[in-house]
Structure 1
Amino acid sequence: MSPRPPPAQRPIGQATRGTTGTNRLRRNDRYLAGLPALRRTGDPLVVDLGFGASAVTALELWTRLARVRPDVEVIGVEIDPERVARAREQLVAVRDGTTSFAPEARVAFEVGGFEVPLPDGRRPILVRAMNVLRQYEEEQVTDAWALTSTRLQAAGTLVEGTCDEIGRVCSWIDVDEAGKPMRLTISLRLADLELPSIVAERLPKALIHRNVPGERVHAVLSALDTAWARAAPLGVFSPQQRWIAAVEALRASGVPVLGGRSRWRLGELSLPWAAVAPG
C-alpha cells in the first residue's frame, strides 16, 4: 500500500463479507464514547470504516456517541458502491421518521477504503474498523494501519478489531496517528462466560494466529483463565464481581492491566500493546 494514493485511484482494500447485525458493535460503540479524544476535539468527525451491508452500525454509532458529544458526525465508508447506495436509501427512511433512529442523525455514507476519502479533505478524530481486516493476511495489517492513520486528526485513533456475530465476544486494538498500536482491549459478556480465552477466536488479525505457547498474548489469556477460575466463588454475588477479582489478580501477578473497576465491570480489559505484541 502506498502512504497516500492520488485522488483518482480506486479505493484501497477488498470487499468483506459485509455481515451486519443490530447491536453487534454495541460494546465497541460504548468504548469509543469513552475515549477522551472525542470529547476534546474541535471537529468531532468519526468514520465507520467497512460498515457492511446495512447502515445500522453507523446509525447506532452516532446514536451512542451523540449522548456524550451531541455535535458528533459519523460517516460510513465502504468499498462496495452497492452497499453505500443501500445505506443512503436507508438513510432516507431515517430522515422521513419511519425508523427508530433520530431523523436529525448526523450520518452520511461514502465510497472508499483504507485511504478514507472524505468530503472537503476533512479528517476524523476516530476511525472504527471492526471485522474488516479479519479477512486479510496478517502481513497486510500494518500497511492498512499505516495508511488509515494518515487520515486522522492530531491525537486521533484508529480502533480496529473483531467480534462474534452477536457482539458478545469482542476485541480491538487502538492505533495512534503514526500507525503504531497502543493497546489491546477485550470486551466480553460475563453472564455464562466459561473461560475468558474464548476471545482467542475473535482476536484482531494481528494477534489471532499468535495465541500459541511462547507468545505474549497466549501467556496473558492463560493467566486470565487461571485468575477467572480461582475467582469462581465470587460468582455467587455476580459475574461482574468475579471478573473484577480476576482482573485484580491478573494485575497483582505483574500483568500491566490498564484502567479501573468502572471499565472492568463492563467485562472489559485493556493492556498496553507491549504486553501482547507478537514476539
Structure 2
Amino acid sequence: MASSPLGRPTRGTTGTNRLRRNDRWIAASRAFLRASDPLVIDLGYGASGVTAFELATRLQRVRADAEVRGLEIDPARVASADAQLAEVRAGRTPFSPDLRVSFARGGFEVPLADGRRPAVIRAMNVLRQYDEADVAGAWGTMTSRLDPGGLLIEGTCDEIGRIASWIDVDAAGTPLRLTISLRLAGLEHPSVVAERLPKALIHRNVPGERVHAFLADLDREWDRAAALSTFGATQRFLAAVTALRDQGWPVEGGRTRWRLGELTLPWAAVAPRG
C-alpha cells in the first residue's frame, strides 16, 4: 500500500450506473478478454464504491475470474467502500456476496502486491482538475503498472452517464483511440460531448484542431439525417456515422457499436496539433 499516493483527490461525485457505458467497453476489450490475470483497476472511484461493484458484476458475466480493485487517495473513501463491501458480503445488497472486489488506498502509482499487473486501469473523471500539460505524465505513471498487453481507459462522463468519452492508452503510454458514447434518445446534437471530452482534448475543441473538425462534421451529418428521426434516433445516428465514414473519417467498428451511440476513431484522427 502506498504511503503517499500520487495525485489529487477527486470531487468524489459518483452514482449508480454512471459508468455503465464504460463498463461495457471494458468487458468487450481485447486487453480484458485475453488477459491471463483479468484484474481491472477502478481508479478514483469516488465517495461510493458502487462503480466498482457494478464493473465487477458486468465483467464477471463475461469472465467468472474477473477481479476489480478500487483505488482512492482519500482513506475515508476507502473505509466507506469497505463498509459497503461488508454489506455486499452479508447479502444485504443487490450485488452478489461473492463479487470479486476489493478496495485500497492508492493513486496513479497503482499499488499492487505480489508483482501483479492489471489488465485494465479505468480512470474516469480523474484528470478533469489537472492541466493539459499534466496528462502525459499521469498516463505514463499509470501505464507503467499495466500488464504488457494491458490498457488504460481515461476519460470523462456527465453525472448520470448519458454523455461520455474516453481514450484508450496502451502499456507503452501511447494513445490508441478516442471513443464517444451518447444516449441517443433526446439527443439534440452529438457535439454535446465537447463538454465531456478527456483533458487531453477538451481545450482543443477550437477551429484548426482535428477534434473540432470531427465534431463539426458529425453535427452536420446529424442535421442532414434529421428526416430519419421518424424512425428513431438510432437510425438517424447510424446514417450520420455512415456519412461521416464515407467522407473519409476513419470510423472504427460497425453498426452494432454505432447503434449503442458509440463512435470510435484512431487517435491520429483527433490528436492535438502542435
Q: TM-score range by the shorter chain?
A: over 0.9
Inter-partner Cα distance in structure 2 for 1:198 and 1:270: 16
Which ranges of structure 2 fall in alignment gaps of 5 or more residues? none
Alignment partner, residue 48 of structure 2: 54
State the secondary structure of the residue aligned to 1:133: coil
Inter-partner Cα distance in structure 2 for 1:132 and 1:222: 27
State the secondary structure of the residue aligned to 2:61: coil
Match of 1:163 among 148, 157, 166: 157
Alignment partner, residue 270 of structure 2: 276
Cα deviation digits, residues 62-119 of structure 1 (max 9, x gap):
0111111111000001111110011001100000000011000000001000000012
Alignment partner, residue 105 of structure 1: 99
Inter-partner Cα distance in structure 1 for 2:212 and 2:205: 5
Match of 1:125 among 119, 122, 133: 119
Alignment partner, residue 207 of structure 1: 201
Alignment partner, residue 4 of structure 1: none
Match of 2:73 among 74, 79, 82: 79
Alignment partner, residue 223 of structure 1: 217
Spell out the pairing of 1:1-279 with structure 2 (5 A cutoff): 10-279=4-273
Contact 2:2 2:106 in 1 (8 A): no
CA RMSD of aligned residues (A): 0.9
Which runs of 4 or more aligned residues in structure 1 lie more than 3 Å from their structure 2 counterparts after TM superposition? none
Matched letter for residue 245 of structure 1: A
Contact 1:168 1:189 in 2 (8 A): yes
Inter-partner Cα distance in structure 1 for 2:63 and 2:205: 37
Inter-partner Cα distance in structure 2 for 1:155 and 1:231: 39
Which ranges of structure 1 fall in alignment gaps of 5 or more residues? 1-6
Inter-partner Cα distance in structure 2 for 1:277 and 1:36: 23
How far is the alpha carbon of 1:121 from its aligned partner? 2.2
Cα deviation digits, residues 191-220 of structure 1 (max 9, x gap):
010100000000000000000000000000
Contact 2:2 2:105 in 1 (8 A): no
